[in-house]
Structure 1
Amino acid sequence: MRTDLLALTADSLAALTNRGLVKRAGKEAAPELLIDADGTVHGGFPDGLTASLPPGGLDAARCTCGATGVCRHVIGVILAYQRLPAEAELEPVPWSPGQVTDDELAARIGARMMAAARRTERTGFTARVRRATSADPVPQVELATTTVRFLVPGDLGFVHTDTVAGSRDDVIALAVWAFRAADELHPGVPEVRVDVGGEAEAGTGSGLERALGLAGTVLREGAAHLGQGLEAAVADVQRHLDAAGLRWPLLAVGDLAEQLASYRDRSAHYRPELLASHIAELHARHRAVRRPQATLRSSVLGTAEAAETPLRRARLESLGCRIRSLGDQRIAEVYLAHSDSAMVLVLRRQWDDDGAAPARRRIATSTLAALAAGNLVTESAVRSASRTVRLATGRISKTTLSPSRGDWGELPPSLVVTGFAALSRELDALTLRPVRPRVEAELVRVVAVARVAAVTYAPGDQRLDAVIVDRAGDTATVRATHTGAAPGRLDSLAAALAGEEGELRFVSGVVGRSAGGVVIEPVGLSAGGRVIVPDLQPAGGGGRLMAAGNDRHEPLTAALIGARGLLAEVAHHGSAHLPPTYDARLSAAARRLTVLGLHRVAQAVTAFAATRTQDSDEAAERAWVDAYLRLEVALDLN
């Protein structure tokens, strides 16, 4: 007796195929059945077509009609078999998917998917288990990424999930293990939520195990092969990080999810290097708190930071604004210096792009243009752990705004740069970026300008570079790149640098290093007794720009960027879906790094290449993280 076929209801068949196909099969002429000794059921149809159903699930079915996948003839054979008078109606038998053995799971999903499921179990996951009832005789498990339904008792050939067949079969094992946990901890309870796995050794856990499991899934499958089913898993990870107060990893997971969403939306905001960087950062923070003589957890994980902190009466001086796009959205980030705490906060607003000028957008009782170039006094500001700030609703009347004259030299000394040599030493002393506190405007500074030495334009990159000089004669580069979200950025910046707006006193922006020098990405300028915000200016009317003679990266930087791009392809395509030429290009990149004298970076890239063909997925993932972190650090220090 084929108990598996008898257990399939019309709803179960519709779940495995589709309801229309089941209806069509019911209208077909009944086939003539023949049953082999091994249980294979054959059906012959009046038009000469034949279909056969061996034990093992619908995937094993065959039909001479040539249809791809399960066809109406296969369904017709099942319906005809269920109507045989010799096959008595089955009595329900108490059964739990938790009774499935690991050997049965391995035989069904394969060793690779079994290993992926074990990795998820080690990091831990949450599931909602629903046992079979008279109203719904199908036991099921809700996981973060999918719902798994066991349609036939004891037969893994008839398991239904929301994922594409074969792409995430590891969820079948996760569902079985969830039932085991429910059977042990909550026997007989019709519906229960359980936490499975994730038990770290005493004193060795970082709290990031679930986040690392998510990162590993992205790295194996790649942004190009992950659908929206991962959103629930992201939400689950974020919920656990938030409950544990791990602020910096929580922000990293949020940025990772934003990159995946940008790829799905075909947004220009998506960059494989950013996605890869967020994955590597989670591993870096995990390693930093687990290694011997580990770095203080609070600084690496943000555990000492309150989610939000209301500010008392605060005076916030605007340093400018940056406009960026995210799909059909526009995002404004206003940088506000808070003198009392000697830090820069970020006020963020987002809106649908309707073609209107961003400068005229309303924020509270003022325009964005007024806020980005003004002094704000408020009793309604609330600061987040990442140093974003919002104005609490209902208290707008306690906020006043006045124009700023750009007297930024009166700000706390830690926010004002008067010498580039000191700034360079400060940047050199910073903790490595992947494990630094994740604050929004950590490196926003006000830079005093003695004079502008040169202004050039790189047409290929649509980038303006200006060499500015401090009082000691040291130089730094003001660098801005064109974007459609801020069409007047380069024109207005060039005009201010050329002195057309009056004497240039200060440039505010994000400071960093590139090719051994100090670079400033500007968000505002103080010139002629007022604050100029390039991103809010209309296009046209700028100063003349002299094209740069050669805007290519120097060889060392180019080699590092090229190798990083190759490793970022893993996050984009997925380690299981890389193109055939990948290994050869990776080896060539490692040789180039060796020739340039970057031996340790080259060794890390070579080690990753070796693990791709010789070791497990976990070993390859560790080697990828090692190589990517070395490349990012080398680029930051270059």
Structure 2
Amino acid sequence: MRTDLLGLTADSLAALTNRGLVKRAGKEAAPELRTDDDGTVHGSFPDGVTASLPPGGLDVARCTCGAAGVCRHVIGVILAYQRLPAEASPEPLPWSPGQVTDDELTARIGARLMAAARRTERTGFTARVRRATPADPVPQVELATATVRFLVPGDLGFVHTDTVAGSRDDVIALAVWAFRVADELHPGVLEVRVDVGGEAEAGTGSGIERALGLAGTVLREGAVNLGQGLDATIADVRRHLDAAGLRWPLLAVGDLADQLASYRDRSAHYRPELLAGHIAELHARHRAVTRPDATLRSSVLGTAEAAETPLRRARLESLGCRIRGLGDQRIAEVYLAHSDSAMVLVLRRQWDGDDDGPALAQRRIASSTLAALSTGNLVTESAVRSASRTVRLATGRISKTTVSPSRGDWNDLPQSLRVTDFAALNRELDALPLRPIRPRVEAELVRAITIAGVQSLTYAPGDQRLDAVITDPLGNTATIRATHTGAAPGRLDSLATALADEDLRFVSGVVSRSAGGIVIEPLALAANGQVIVPDLQPPGGSHRLTLTEAAHPDPLTTALIDTRSLLAEATHHGLSHLPPTYDTRLTTAAHHLTTLGLHRIAHAVTTFATTRTHNSDETTEQTWIDAYLRLDVALDLN
């Protein structure tokens, strides 16, 4: 009896091939079956075609029809075998992929890929393990570069990954090892994040020391006093980080360089707080992996990340679009849910000019339009995912991309991308690592949120901001918050209209917290069997809103923001070029923080002010880092 073939569900077969092929196979005339002593199943079809399935997975299947890869006849043989009268068999024992031996892994992926997996293990990597449940009987592991699903218990021939077949089969070994760690440390836990391998090393350096040197130069001299002479140093640092596979510091240095270039170009994209944040982030990542209780390097430095990962045939469901204006440029970001890997990817396009969202909606992207991509389902064989979870459609294979309208039925998304309980979402946000040392991935907090009702809808004219208080099915509340921008003139009107619709089911957006409550920055809404993207809608609407006064930040938040801005001036002017009044302003800010009870942050600011006049440049830089990180983290947690 071929238990592997009997264990394949329609969803498993669709994952290994595609859903259309499974449907076609189901319509074929049933083949005549026979089984060899070694377990090979043969199927003879009425038209003379024969297909054979030896043990070992679909890759070893053969068919006389001449099709490349797995064909409908092979699937037809599996479906016919599953319809045979069931033989009596014992109840299957609980199984974990962690039970797979290294010898079995080597036989499946080969010695070369096993060696590659061992190198990754020595460096260390982080994985999210999801055990099988009655609702989802397929155990899976979410890695940085791929999601691995074990479709048939105990059979590595039926393992599915979302990468191109053969390109990253070493991830199968990484997934097995992740399950071993989960089985040992967290037995019975249905979903858990584990660190595998990579002994955390303290005091041996981080590998980003060159980047810290660059950050120190920027901090001492400031954006105002740095010209293009630093470009060669930046390029050298980026080459070094790229060669070492330090993905997150590499992205931080790239953003730092963009801020310096934006200042030179007098671009609206330049903000001292962003420049200061990138400098502080590099130091935070260095400290996290070199302190006595060091964090696993792979999760902080991105050493387990592939620069790019080509995806096999992928189905991506749009969760909307954001239009941003930066000076005379417009940037569109389409958010695409990839269910196989339980993550949201970002497709980004940029155009020169001042066109707004409604005009950009008809711009062509690949074989479709921005509007269609933002409200549709994308099926593609040309998608390439980056380490930061941006996605591009590889040139030359655009013809293999199709787009169909979405009905906004986001209940089918993976549970980790859906929100039905704001209290549970709060706990999820609590468990996140601090932002300066988190993986640098796009759209990590984009979710599809179930809306049970809209309690209130208000508009603050002074801030040009719309706030809607919504409830989840359990009665918990959150706030949808959107602000007007010239790049998306219909955002607020269309959002207000959609929120008044009685058939509104979902909102997608970026979730965060403010003053202890959940806040959602909306991207799209699902109502009446369609997806509405506010940023692509024209202005105009008749929905009447309740006016309210602009909300003023509480005194604590205001003090934190003002002090962070004061510290960010150091990266703008440079520590060596600050005005004479700067120290007095620091002292005043520290006193105000003390009055509000923020004693540790106040002490860090005071220490920075003291070292500016009594210590070396290096000590001054470190105390600035201490103070800025404390302020940045406090604002994130507020």
TM-score (norm 1): 0.67
Please state how far the C-alpha of 1:488 moved relative to its aligned partner. Answer: 1.6
Taking a change above 3 Å as real, the CA distance of residues 354 and 560 of structure 1, as seen in their structure-2 partners, is closer
- In structure 1, the gaps of 5 or more residues are 1-200
Question: Are the aligned partners of 1:330 and 1:353 in contact in 2 as well (CA < 8 Å)?
Answer: yes
Taking a change above 3 Å as real, the CA distance of residues 543 and 218 of structure 1, as seen in their structure-2 partners, is farther
The aligned counterpart of 2:487 is 485
The aligned counterpart of 1:614 is 614
Question: Are the aligned partners of 2:608 and 2:627 in contact in 1 as well (CA < 8 Å)?
Answer: yes
Distance 2:267 2:460 in 1: 24
Distance 1:595 1:287 in 2: 30
Instruction: Report the 3-state secondary structure (helix = DSSP H, G, I; strand = E; otherwise coil) of the residue aligned with 2:590.
Output: helix
Superposed CA offset, 1:604-626 (max 9, x none)? 11111111111111111100110
The aligned counterpart of 1:425 is 427
Instruction: Report the 3-state secondary structure (helix = DSSP H, G, I; strand = E; otherwise coil) of the residue aligned with 1:576.
Output: helix
Distance 1:202 1:293 in 2: 7
Superposed, 1:102-251 pairs within 5 Å as: 204-251=204-251
Please state how far the C-alpha of 1:329 moved relative to its aligned partner. Answer: 1.8
Question: Are the aligned partners of 2:330 and 2:355 in contact in 1 as well (CA < 8 Å)?
Answer: no
Distance 1:421 1:579 in 2: 47
Distance 1:225 1:494 in 2: 46
Taking a change above 3 Å as real, the CA distance of residues 462 and 229 of structure 1, as seen in their structure-2 partners, is farther
The aligned counterpart of 1:534 is 534
The aligned counterpart of 1:102 is none
Instruction: Report the 3-state secondary structure (helix = DSSP H, G, I; strand = E; otherwise coil) of the residue aligned with 2:341.
Output: coil
Q: Is structure 2 residue 279 aligned with structure 1 residue 279?
A: yes
Question: Are the aligned partners of 2:202 and 2:292 in contact in 1 as well (CA < 8 Å)?
Answer: no
The aligned counterpart of 2:378 is 376
Deviates more, 1:458-467 or 1:311-320: 458-467
Question: Are the aligned partners of 1:333 and 1:346 in contact in 2 as well (CA < 8 Å)?
Answer: yes
TM-score (norm 2): 0.67
Distance 2:557 2:244 in 1: 39
Please state how far the C-alpha of 1:512 moved relative to its aligned partner. Answer: 1.0
Superposed CA offset, 1:360-386 (max 9, x none)? 110011110000000001111011110
Equivalent residue letter for 2:603: Q
Question: Are the aligned partners of 2:330 and 2:354 in contact in 1 as well (CA < 8 Å)?
Answer: no
Equivalent residue letter for 1:506: F
Equivalent residue letter for 2:546: M
The aligned counterpart of 2:625 is 625
Between Structure 1 and Structure 2, whose CA radius of gyration is higher? 1
> Which one of the candidate residues 337, 359, 362 is aligned to 1:360?
362
The aligned counterpart of 1:559 is 559
The aligned counterpart of 1:266 is 266
Equivalent residue letter for 1:481: T
Distance 1:275 1:460 in 2: 28
Distance 1:605 1:484 in 2: 38
Distance 1:473 1:602 in 2: 39
Distance 2:289 2:267 in 1: 35
Equivalent residue letter for 1:295: T
Distance 2:218 2:633 in 1: 22
Please state how far the C-alpha of 1:543 moved relative to its aligned partner. Answer: 2.9
Distance 2:220 2:542 in 1: 47
Distance 2:218 2:634 in 1: 24
Distance 1:225 1:264 in 2: 10
The aligned counterpart of 1:324 is 324
Q: Aligned pair count?
A: 436
The aligned counterpart of 1:176 is none
- In structure 2, the gaps of 5 or more residues are 1-200
Please state how far the C-alpha of 1:529 moved relative to its aligned partner. Answer: 1.3
Superposed, 1:1-12 pairs within 5 Å as: none
Equivalent residue letter for 2:425: L
Equivalent residue letter for 1:267: S
Please state how far the C-alpha of 1:550 moved relative to its aligned partner. Answer: 4.2
Question: Are the aligned partners of 2:220 and 2:571 in contact in 1 as well (CA < 8 Å)?
Answer: yes
Distance 1:202 1:446 in 2: 40
Distance 1:228 1:494 in 2: 46
Taking a change above 3 Å as real, the CA distance of residues 370 and 244 of structure 1, as seen in their structure-2 partners, is same
Taking a change above 3 Å as real, the CA distance of residues 415 and 270 of structure 1, as seen in their structure-2 partners, is same
Equivalent residue letter for 1:510: V
Distance 2:547 2:266 in 1: 32
Equivalent residue letter for 2:365: I
Equivalent residue letter for 1:271: R
Please state how far the C-alpha of 1:452 moved relative to its aligned partner. Answer: 1.2
The aligned counterpart of 2:85 is none
Equivalent residue letter for 1:449: I
The aligned counterpart of 1:337 is 337
Instruction: Report the 3-state secondary structure (helix = DSSP H, G, I; strand = E; otherwise coil) of the residue aligned with 1:340.
Output: helix
Distance 2:219 2:543 in 1: 46
Question: Are the aligned partners of 2:203 and 2:292 in contact in 1 as well (CA < 8 Å)?
Answer: no
Please state how far the C-alpha of 1:261 moved relative to its aligned partner. Answer: 1.7
Distance 2:331 2:355 in 1: 13
